[in-house]
A and B are shown apart, each in its own frame.
Chain A
Amino acid sequence: MFLALKELKHAKQKFALIISVVVLVSYLVYFLTALAYGLASSYTNAVNKWDSESLIMTVDANDNLMMSFMTETDYNNTTVNGDKAKLGLFPAVIKNPQAVENIDTRLNIYLFGIENNSFIKPKDSNETLIDNKVIVSDELKKNGYQIGDMIAISGSDLELEIMGFSEKATYQTAPVIYMALSTWQSHRFSTNTPPDLFSGLIIRGDISNIKGELATYTIDEYILTLPGYTAQVLTFTIMIVFLIIIVAFVLGIFVYVLTIQKTSIFGVMKAQGVSNGYIAGSVIIQTLFLVAIGIITGLILTEITALFLSDIVPLARNILFYIIITFAFFLFALFGGLFSVSAVLKIDPLKAIGG
């Protein structure tokens, strides 16, 4: 400890350079993590809000919930040990009817058709969904929508009235609009006498029996089928893992070179009887210290950035991920430091004594 810290203090500039590399990379890693988690959440927020175990759709839909048509018979034939809720799902483009003509207010959203008494209705708004009265994602507040405002749907005469807002209501990165299932059916099938069809069943609890050509997904399985979700999460994960490994190598190489430079000093220390353990421990402590300063600074920078950018990019902080990544940084840096430990072990004290 003493030796490691005194050297850091003495050669501040040299170590500042190394630390700055760690700072930059750890900043990038923490930022990417927040971004990856934010993006992933914006895919799944509305799904996670259901707080349910599984989802049922038709086999013919081929994982695509929007192309699934389930009937009242399917609903009745599905028995569960818990609760079940009908969901109608369809994308739409909305516009602000009050906006000035030449301003583009078009926005991609998802329409969730639900029943008023179902457990998947947002808890943060008590409004009854009927006719054109809807609850919308609070993301729409960023676009200037307020309670009582009207929303126009492209390619339809339907205008919706905002009754309430719901937090964390995004699906595949787009805001969700919750409407009555009957309204959803009229819009989906473009008729005032629509068939009584819906997209899927959300199940809370266990399924005891289902009949017909239906496919069951756990919620986690379903999330993985969302277009682009797996590819995106995988890409981010690979980037983050590689960056952590790169930091380990960069640190490992730096510390190794510094250790090699100190061969004669360590040789003399060994000749004097200082144990390998003390010298190697000092090298390892130094490595971990560099990592610690670097990643704490990186983390602080990430938090500062998040303060300014969280309205523009979907950043979401997750303490658990931060802890795992911090732990991984230390673990890999330790591996990097082990190169130097092996170098210390090889130093021959005999060479310290000429003759």
Chain B
Amino acid sequence: MKKILIEMKNVTKDFLQGENVIRALKPTNFIAYEGEMIGIVGPSGSGKSTFLTILGGLQKPTTGQVLLDGKPFSELPVKEKSKVRLKEIGFILQASNLIPFLTVKEQLVLYNKIMRSKGNKDWMDELFEKLGVEKLKDKYPNELSGGERQRSAIAKALYHNPNVVFADEPTASLDTNKAFEVVKLLAKETKEQKKATIMVTHDERMLDFCDKVYVIVDGTLSERVN
């Protein structure tokens, strides 16, 4: 039996626009199991980012609930949610989540400093090797190519061993070959380390690497069955 890492139960999200209530997310149920790479596609303005931010605890759902590793997540106070996010979720963002004035290695060391822990040097080296950035670890983000940057970003997202990884348009700035390479690596690590990776993308070609693909249109999430 595969473990459920993150789950959405009957979640809706309403926004007030003037006097009208807009339902950005219709009642949604969603489950991500360990080792699953899930793709989310949809036109802009369809509710993709609402879905992802509610899943990540950056917004509160109007109704319903998000469970992270079986524990209630969406109801936690903002501070607690931040703490949980720091431990349980890894982010890979479009413009990369790297801090411009830290070297690749320091991006990971920063996490140790924030957590006041010594960190795990072996695991860091292993990650650098897996993602092929071991020679780049003393370089600053502006010294890296787009692909190297996103591979480093994956290393950063995986370093603290989160259960869930959110990837928001991770290939937006890459050419096809680089994009394939990055997503392939992400899919491989998802399997090996038994994470659940949720990737929002515009790029249909990247969906070949996903175990499941969901489509959001006008706030309705539905699984695409091939």
Contacts and interface: CB of A to CB of B under 8 A. Distances in A.
A350 interface: yes
Contacts of B49: 353-355
B91 A272 contact: yes
Contacts of B110: 2-3
Interface string A272-305: 1111001000000000000000000000000000
Contacts of A272: 85-86, 89-91, 97
B113 A3 contact: yes
B153 to A, nearest CB: 10
* A interface: dominant SS: helix
B48 interface: yes
A271 interface: yes
Contact of A10 (B97, B114, B140): B140
Given A271-B91, A272-B97, A350 B114 contact: no
30 contacts: A3-B99, A7-B101, A10-B102, A10-B140, A11-B101, A265-B100, A268-B91, A268-B97, A270-B82, A271-B56, A271-B85, A272-B85, A272-B90, A273-B81, A273-B82, A273-B85, A274-B86, A274-B114, A275-B82, A278-B114, A349-B58, A353-B56, A353-B93, A354-B94, A354-B168, A354-B169, A355-B44, A355-B52, A355-B53, A355-B200
Interface in B73-95: 79, 81-87, 89-91, 93-95
Contacts of A6: 101-102, 106
Nearest to A352: B93
A268 B58 CA distance: 11
A1 interface: yes
A172 B53 CA distance: 73
B109 interface: yes
Given A270-B82, A272-B86, A274-B86, A355 B50 contact: yes
B145 interface: no
Identify the interface centre among B49, B50, B101: most chain A CB within 10 Å of its CB: B101
A1 B116 CA distance: 12
Given A274-B114, A353-B49, A355-B53, 13 more contacts: A6-B106, A7-B101, A268-B91, A271-B91, A271-B93, A272-B90, A272-B97, A273-B85, A278-B114, A350-B53, A353-B53, A353-B91, A354-B168
A245 B146 CA distance: 45
B193 interface: no
A273 B97 CA distance: 12
A353 B114 contact: no
B59 interface: yes
Contact of B84 (A265, A273, A353): A273
Identify the interface centre among A7, A10, A271: most chain B CB within 10 Å of its CB: A271
A265 B87 CA distance: 19
Identify the interface centre among A269, A271, A272: most chain B CB within 10 Å of its CB: A272
B93 A355 contact: no
A273 B83 contact: yes
Contacts of B79: 275
Place the interface of chain B in its size category: 35 or more
Contacts of A7: 101
Nearest to B47: A355
Contact of A273 (B53, B87, B109): B87
Interface in A43-93: none
Contacts of B166: 353
Identify the interface centre among B84, B109, B110, B166: most chain A CB within 10 Å of its CB: B110
Interface string B108-149: 011001100000000000000000000000001000000000
Nearest to B101: A10
A339 B91 CA distance: 29
A355 B169 CA distance: 8
Nearest to A265: B99
A272 B168 CA distance: 13
A353 B89 CA distance: 14
Nearest to B168: A353
A265 B94 CA distance: 13
Interface string A324-355: 00000000000000000000000001101111
A271 to B, nearest CB: 6
B216 to A, nearest CB: 9
Interface in A239-287: 264-265, 268-275, 278
Contacts of B169: 354
Given A1-B113, A278-B114, A355-B44, A273 B52 contact: no
Contacts of B52: 353, 355
A349 B44 CA distance: 19
B199 to A, nearest CB: 12
B73 to A, nearest CB: 12
B2 to A, nearest CB: 26
A150 B86 CA distance: 84
A355 to B, nearest CB: 2
Contacts of A1: 113
Interface in B24-44: 44
Nearest to B85: A273
Contacts of A11: 101
